[in-house]
A and B are shown apart, each in its own frame.
Chain A
Amino acid sequence: MIDLNASVVNVDQPPRSFGEKIYLGPIISGLTVTLRHFVRNFFGRKDVATIQYPEEKHEYSERLRGRHILITRDEGELRCVACFMCETACPADCIHIEAEEDPSAEVEWEKRPVVFEIDLLRCIFCGLCVDACPKEAIVMSRTHELAFARREEAIVGIDQLRQTGAMEDQDLGYRPYF
């Protein structure tokens, strides 16, 4: 048996007082609120909420899930071994991989991707591909401003996804943590 009335707080408001009935009281207190914000923002610029977007950017955390990056090894080859785990884990089926045997590999039967395409317009940026990767070959960057004029432009392949430059220069976002 549960006593639903054990900890209940009644929020009913009392009937309106005379000052409230003639509109004036609450209007004045309301105007005080807006005027306080106005004066503080106008003279002090203390708590202006607006950011001047293209020039000034909101600081996102290091976990932001933006566009993907395919990480490369030191010698410039992709880390990806085409194990299809990200493709399996993707709820949107937006990853398309075609694999081939890696000719430069020391071990026989090592694979690498020939085609690695992500349809950025299908992608829901959930990060499950990053969690699924056993090689930390796919991570996410903080590039999240993605606009396209045509749908075909949004299907990006290895060339666009490949890491460019050193790891420190990447604007890295969501990566596997545990």
Chain B
Amino acid sequence: MEFYLSDPNLRLVFFGILIMSSTTAVVGNYAFLRKRSLIGDAISHSIFPGICLGFLFTDSKNPVFLLVGAFATGWLAVFLIDYFKNNSKIKEDSAIALVMSVFFGIGIVLLTYIQQSKGANQSGLDKFLFGQAASIVETDVIVFGSVALLSLVVVLLLFREFKLICFDPVFAKSIGYPIKTLEAIITSLTVLAIVVGIRSVGVVLMSAMLIAPAAAARFWTNNLSVMMVVSILFTTISTILGCGVSYAFEGMPTGPWIVMIMSFLAILTFLFAPQKGSVNKYFRDRMNWSRIEKENILKKLYQIGEVKNDFFQPIFLPEVANNRHTEIKISQILKKLKNDGFVIKTKGNWYLSAEGKAKGQKMIKLHRLWEFYLTEKVHIAPDHVHDNSEMMEHIISPEMEEKLEKALNYPKKDPHSKEIPY
């Protein structure tokens, strides 16, 4: 990292982008949690006509005018999206697509108008479209810094209020929070962060800077403050690597590389995050299924034993098989059960072991206990309780089992007059 920080220009670019993208990451948390991730895309497209209007009216490239214009149309876009959403049958995503494409079209009309009427003076306006990280100068860093500071102060002051708006706007309203004002403040922060950053990364990549860190951070924590810190961490890593790549290889663009690394890290997170990642979810699901399958077979074996009044006869596969499990499938599951010690195989015959019998008995007990509970306490008809119990028997924890037993006072028989084995 030191090797490119020694260059003063690159140092400016690096810190500029780092400050700017950390700000967008923080406000992006709110956009993400309010399920408005694409609003960033809409804003970054919609500020373009504002920039052109600012230039047309004042005839100067003074960044203040351009930014004021950009802020105005960015805000207008969010307002229109909300208006269409609330006042017609148009859904939010359609409203975003509509406002975004029309505003952007207006922006291009204005840009081409400026280009042919004002000539060479306009050069630089189209930098807003694709962004140029390398053009960051000291004033930019000062602007980034002040916006970052402002956002930080506002977020710290209104942390509780913003949090409530993200997670439960209805509750926030009912306890008397000024919802409209607070939402307007969040929108203003978002528009501001995008407006100042857009010249460095461009229209399309801006929306990635807004949501990718927040979305990735969401997979690592359930706590908003931690999530914000993690999202800033993600941005920092991507900025360091992105700037590094564009420094190390001639002609490599900084912005796209940062976004590329950022989204790559985000996608890796979505796949491999310890709790919520899809790969982990997949394996967890499979383990769960296989546990449920094993428990079901043990239950079936116990039931067969119950009828025959002898639990330790050799297992006759066709008896266990049903239309969901063929005999081949059953013998596969039996092999797994053997590893767990629930069944034994001797001389080509399968036998239930003592542990297997106990486990099967426990499943049957839970099943019938739950059926009893549903009829007795929840007053559900006896012929409607089986399916629910089929699920619950795999979920009931030992503590809950104990509570059930006590609450029901150790019933002898289930609603279908079958014995509940203890």
Q: Do A and B bind each other?
A: no
On B, residues with C-beta under 8 Å from A are none
On A, residues with C-beta under 8 Å from B are none
